[in-house]
Structure 1
Amino acid sequence: MIIQVWSDLLCPFAHVAIHRLRVAREQLGVEVQLDHHTFALELFDGPHPRPGTDSEAVGLGQLEPELGFRLWTKPDWTYPSTVLLAAEAVHAAKEQGLRASEELDHALRKAFWLESRSIAHRQVILDVATEIGIDTTALAAALDDGRARATMMADHAIAVTDAIQGSPQFVLPDGSSVHNPGIKVRWEGPFAAGYPIAENSDPGWAERLLKQAA
């Protein structure tokens, strides 16, 4: 059983939702694979703004403290204003299986949100992959010849249509989907200057989604 996950690596809402889905999968003991697809926010809005991600981390970090949301702590010039290469790596890792791709996606999110690592950089991506046991020789070859780039951009061609609303969105085997489940927020102040306040958080959506998919 496969659930498609459409998201951006620097989207904190996706980080929370994917974490909740992974936890629910483990608790239920169901055989579900996550097939990651790219909803590249930077191709809609331009380079990722650090004030935006910092402010969202402040608000959403309260929902899942164990995720370890942190503000960016490294020098400003190392902040990853693009993560297209990292997203391409997640696609390229599918050559080693969907599980490898899922674990690389998860590790890259942790590297950014928890450790302030610049996941825009090729070597950082490969270092993260090495740490989780990915075949980095094969991954490096895929990045260098760009074999997954067309697949990633094909995702963008779908993302600009009405088929995908945003990051994150989960598409079930029957074709039904849900966008940004379990979180309803309002903004205190303008985006990147204020911060989101969770008005409603429902972690139980993940268990219901998995049961529906099954």
Structure 2
Amino acid sequence: MKVQIWSDIMCPFCYIAKNNFEKALQQLPFSSEIEVEWKSFQLDPELNNTSGSITFGKYLMVKKGFSAQKADQFLQQLTDMGKNSEVNFDFDKTFVANTFPAHKLLHLSKKYGKDNKMEELLFQALFEMGKNIADPQLLISFAEQLGIDKDETQETLNSNQFDNDVTQDFKEAKNLGISGVPFFVLDSKYSISGAQPVETFLSALKQNFDEAKMPLENLGENDSSCTADECKL
């Protein structure tokens, strides 16, 4: 089974969904048969900030038109929701920045089968540690932490090497009608949107797995066919 996950690092619901999804995987006896692929999505591609100087609360007020009170309430609800999924949000020191460089790094990590680990590092850095995820030195340090060559990472960030891969994910999301994240696609057959609870992921994964294992039902009685050895009427 293949599960594709469209996500943006600046999306707190994506972080919650990742934890819930992985908890579901831990409960499945067939988890080793599930291939997970992370896909890029940008909630705010026009965000020019790369300095990590805009707090998440301020961003909600400027970009979403939230009042200060509504922003505080929203962030508190997210914090409580995160605790239920063992995500420790610290919005007092969470600063938003353009996520395109981080998505390029994710595609480099995917080349080495380490995109899931990189996704986790980026979420933790932004939402729990107050790091600027557009900082090239931070991204390079994460790559080195996962055993990815420093020079290759530097080249990735300074060139357009993975730009097409990132934008192709955006186009694919648009073609599928994906307008928000997190968004999970199971074997190009079923989809799950939003930060769903563990039970929802469990149910969907079991259903898709069981259907994939079902023998094909023959809907025709006519036995006229050809094999490599013979043709019969």
What TM-score do the two structures reach when normalised by structure 2?
A: 0.71
Question: Out of 196, 204, 229, which is 1:209 matched to?
Answer: 204
Aligned to 1:141: 155
Gaps of 5+ in 1: 183-201
Identity of matched residues, %? 23
Written as runs of structure 1 = structure 2, the 5 A alignment for 1:154-165 is 154-161=168-175, 163-165=177-179
Question: Out of 169, 184, 190, which is 1:176 matched to?
Answer: 190
Q: Which moved more, 1:134-143 or 1:42-51?
A: 42-51
Q: CA deviation at 1:156?
A: 1.8
Is 2:66 the counterpart of 1:60? no
Which has more radius of gyration? 2
Q: CA deviation at 1:25?
A: 1.0
* Cα contact 1:108–1:119 (8 A) shared by 2: yes
Aligned to 1:35: 37
What TM-score do the two structures reach when normalised by structure 1?
A: 0.77
Q: CA deviation at 1:23?
A: 1.7
> Counterpart of 2:56 in structure 1: which amino acid?
R
Q: Residues 181, 113 of structure 1: CA spacing in aligned structure 2 closer, same or farther, 3 A cutoff?
A: closer
Q: Which moved more, 1:38-47 or 1:162-171?
A: 38-47
Is 2:89 the counterpart of 1:69? yes
Q: Alpha-carbon deviations, 1:80-114, whole Å to 9, x = none?
A: 421110011101211112xx011101110011111
Gaps of 5+ in 2: 62-70, 210-233
Q: Residues 57, 103 of structure 1: CA spacing in aligned structure 2 closer, same or farther, 3 A cutoff?
A: farther
Q: Residues 168, 119 of structure 1: CA spacing in aligned structure 2 closer, same or farther, 3 A cutoff?
A: same
Aligned residues: 189
Is 2:56 the counterpart of 1:50? yes
Measure, in 1, the Cα distance between the counterparts of 2:47 and 2:139. 23
* Cα contact 2:103–2:166 (8 A) shared by 1: yes
* Cα contact 1:159–1:166 (8 A) shared by 2: no
Measure, in 2, the Cα distance between the counterparts of 1:144 and 1:102. 23
Q: Which moved more, 1:26-35 or 1:61-70?
A: 26-35
Superposition RMSD on alpha carbons, in Å? 2.5
Aligned to 2:229: none
Aligned to 1:104: 118
Measure, in 2, the Cα distance between the counterparts of 1:180 and 1:107. 21
Q: Alpha-carbon deviations, 1:29-72, whole Å to 9, x = none?
A: 41223211112011278768722397554212212312111114
Question: Helix, strand or coil for the counterpart of 1:147?
Answer: coil
Q: Residues 124, 57 of structure 1: CA spacing in aligned structure 2 closer, same or farther, 3 A cutoff?
A: farther
Q: Residues 105, 81 of structure 1: CA spacing in aligned structure 2 closer, same or farther, 3 A cutoff?
A: same
Question: Helix, strand or coil for the counterpart of 2:20?
Answer: helix
Q: Which moved more, 1:103-112 or 1:137-146?
A: 137-146
Q: Residues 59, 210 of structure 1: CA spacing in aligned structure 2 closer, same or farther, 3 A cutoff?
A: same
Q: CA deviation at 1:117?
A: 0.5
Question: Helix, strand or coil for the counterpart of 1:42?
Answer: coil
Measure, in 1, the Cα distance between the counterparts of 2:76 and 2:148. 31
Aligned to 2:26: 26
Question: Out of 79, 82, 91, which is 2:107 matched to?
Answer: 91
Q: CA deviation at 1:10?
A: 0.7
